[in-house]
Every structure is written in C-alpha cells, then in structure tokens.
Amino acid sequence: MSSHLDIRLREGTKHSHTMTENTAFMKCFLKGVVEKSFFRKLLADLYFVYSALEEELQFHQHHPIVGMMHFPELHRQANLEKDLAFYYGENWREQIIPSQPGQVYVARIHEVAKTQPELLIAHAYTRYMGDLSGGQALRKIARSAMDLPPDRGTAMHEFEQIPTPEARREFKEQYRQALNFLSLDEAMIQKIVDEANNAFALNRDVIHELEADVRAAIGDHVFDLITRQDHVGSTERTPNNTEVGIVA
C-alpha cells in the first residue's frame, strides 16, 4: 500500500523551498554571482553535512525503514573531497572547519539518527533530490561563472553512476517509488515532512552565513539590486512538478 510520501514531501515543503530560493545567496548565485572565495566555504560546510548524513545512512542500512532509502550511488562525500582538494589544495583537511550553522546542521542529523532514525529520510530527500534536480542547473552556473576546467570543481553535482538527464529522471522515479512503499503511519509521515522543512531551514542558515562574502564581492549597490525582489519558487510555480527544485 502506497504512503504517498513523495507527494506529501513535495507539497509539504513547497514554501520552504521558495524561502530557500529567495535567500540573498541563492538570488545572487542564480544571477551568476559565484566566486571561489565563498563557493568553497559552502562546499566545506556541505562536506561535513554529507559526511554526517552518509555515516548515519550507512550505520542504519539494515534498519527496516531507513535501509530501504539507502542508495550508495547518491553519496557525495568522496566527490566533495575532490572539490575541496581543487579549491583548497591537497592539505584541505587542515584548512576547513564547519561554520556555526553547519555545526548545528550536523548535530541535528546525528540527533535524529540516535532518537528517531526514520527522520534521516527527510534529510536524504532534501539533499539528494535537490542535487539531482536543481543542483544540475547550479552546476552549470558555477562552471560558467568561475570558468572552471572541464573536469574540476563541480564533482558534488556529478553522479558517475547516474550520468545522463534520462538516467537521473529514471532514478528519481525509482526513489519516489521507494518512498511510497515505506511502511509508515500517518504520525511518522507528518514527522518526516516536518523534519524536511527543518532540513530546509538548516540549509538556509548555512547559506545565509555566506551573505557577507557575496556582498563584499559585488558591492552593496549590486547586491541590493539583485536581492530586493522576491520571486515565486520553482516548486510553487509549477504545481505538477514532481521534483525538489533548486536547493543549495
């Protein structure tokens, strides 16, 4: 029996998604304002986030619910290591620390893993479906804005085992079907949706931390021009959209 969890997550997080797209950082990113100085800080925070998430997913791979959403081909930690070596150099591990919001994000992942591991599904959904969907557009913007060499700098959004748009579409359908066949009661479904909204908020806090860097890079006037007007989010604009759109 289907839980319709994919629809519940999509519908239940639309507003959170719009709020993320309307952060100053994302508005600037979508306008092509991407510089290595702050992009690498974002990747560093995401390295700690994905490391925590993938550690817990691996630990719970035999859990009757969480295990069904464990897809190692989605894991980002190794690819983020390649990116960090590119942006920071081979001694990148000595140079990066998580921001304060990044630490909060990581702590929340470990907390739910210990207290209610089913909620890891919310964190995996918001991150990986975003990477497979809007993340592909962010990859193109970043490559163009920073004039990156062909094989360097955006490994985070490259899926070696899901390499083409067609393969990604098929995989996302498989992922949605897996969500729908989880054996969950209504209370747990609502908790997962609530946690997905929390995951969006934690992500917004991480990217909000980079606003000062973006403003410094482009100046107050241009920053204010780009960021002063909100827009309708991609998931709210297209009611039949079945994907998480642009998530940093």
pLDDT of residue 233: 61
Average pLDDT of the segment spanning 40-44: 98
Is the separation of the CB atoms in 165 and 210 below 8 Å? no
pLDDT of residue 234: 61
Q: Please, what are the domains in the chain? A: 5-237 (1.20.910.10)
Residue 3 has pLDDT above 90, yes or no: no
For the chain, what percent of residues have pLDDT higher than 90? 89
Is the separation of the CB atoms in 69 and 5 below 8 Å? no
How far apart (Å, rounded) are the C-alpha atoms in residues 210 and 42? 8
The reported pTM is 0.92
pLDDT tens, 236-245? 554 444 444 4
Longest dimension (CA), the chain: 55
pLDDT of residue 88: 98
Please report which confidence band the pLDDT of residue 232 belongs to, taking 50, 70 and 90 as the band edges: low
pLDDT of residue 243: 43
